[in-house]
Structure 1
């Protein structure tokens, strides 16, 4: 059959092929099938309609196997790259205040932000279980794009895999992020010094409590929502008034207690917490009391812990309170030379107890 350039447009086979291509991006399946991970047309349609359509930007639209960046543009914003990756397996996928898509974006944005970096680009790789409703995937992709737009970043490349029914649990997401750290910003857990002050940007434990209640295993009726939110603009506020921030982390799995232990061990210092100063919602305290949990170990998805020189503490606190993500910020601890590598809590009864690293997992699949 002659398919030369002069005759191909009139050829019935060519016309049929063009008709099929024009239908590209029309996903009619109501549920994910193994074909959606096969590398063929079903997979291409899924990627085009759900991911490319949702995340549309000039870099992603090239549909190469990688994203390419202009190095001069990147380095004009700072002198170092920050690079991170994280995976999200939260159960349930949708919970009060957020969902797995927004969580995946904000979690990676915040991992970049606490290094002082300006987040710029994300990847999105998904592992889908056969049988997942297609509409669920659409909702998650739309949520990711809304979160990316809010954080002023672009999702520029990714990957899609489908596994047999029962080989995963609905949907897992992996994201990687790239940001640029401005010149002069040196934030590290190894820079904490005696005399420093520890500040947190708001209430602890809301995310962990919201997930626990959303699983429906407890007959509890509360309005607790996840604190999932991007923190890069809050970090920018902090760095404007205190470029010499010593350490900063987001308090996710393991909560505040784990972050402070990491700081204490990395810098070989002591940290003394004041329980009266730690902001925790009464509803979260109630959930913890019922279940025997400690809010210091509950996961958060919109909380950062910042360590600054004492002379800068009030300026940093004021800058944090001026941002919506830091309106409930509080000074909660001071750093001492001893006992080295130990976190102590001054209780409401004026006694002291050691706050150790979390052993095991209070709540699995929290993020």
Structure 2
């Protein structure tokens, strides 16, 4: 019944968006130009905003070809073979202390994005565990990867963000006496009628947008509540498969490392800035190879994990807005899984050196 309700909500969103587009197009072309043009445009905009669309790849990700990163592609293919899933079509890297996988575009192309800081902070077993955690999500049963339920959730999230009031466009800021005085001084006179009309319209639209945003938020939360059991089951299944391939201890270390992101990034930034002085020494340091620098990062991350050996009871599990907590994921891991794969990924560091250099530069710049 729960899955039927989830698919029913998704079908309603699909039908309503297509209906708004069709009705809006009909109103815009009826006795053109006529009074029906304005509601037709509004319906077209609403249909376009609510139309379920596939998510895109993460921004600022640098795609890596097989020629540029043969070692990384080889490791990814070995992990995919161990998991029993198809390999991703796109392998990319970015500067985030994270990793991501999913399907993008209408063609549902599978992608894998490896964060250079996180990759550099893990040893060989941890890298295999990271890939297994992300690639294991391609197994069937995850509602966030479904073209029906996943696309609807993405569209509802986009629409909810559009209705969120912006700080720089807030009505309270525009009504601030200091703002009014500055505007009056700049234009050389009192506030005009056009600005007053804008404020009146905002006053009238504010309760409408507030109600719409609240209703949309409730709808999305209820929809995610319907998907939550299947999402939790899919995450636990992916974790168990990753533990079989990479080992339970390595998977637990990766989960803990991702939860400790703020602390580890602070240490890595301090390590990247060590000895950074002005003048010729700074220029020489920026031109120096970064591989010897990042080679010490797995030990730094291990020290931070040793200071936090117990997984927290809460925290985002790194799988969207409705995953199990980190503590639940670590507790559900098989306790005695040694891992089937022990791959050497040291060759990937040389392939990712351009990304490492940009990452180190960003860390030094703050």
Pairwise same-fold verdict (TM > 0.5)? no
Q: With the length of structure 2 as denominator, give the TM-score of the two structures.
A: 0.24
- Higher helix fraction (1 or 2): 2
Max radius of gyration: which structure? 2
Q: With the length of structure 1 as denominator, give the TM-score of the two structures.
A: 0.24
- Higher strand fraction (1 or 2): 1
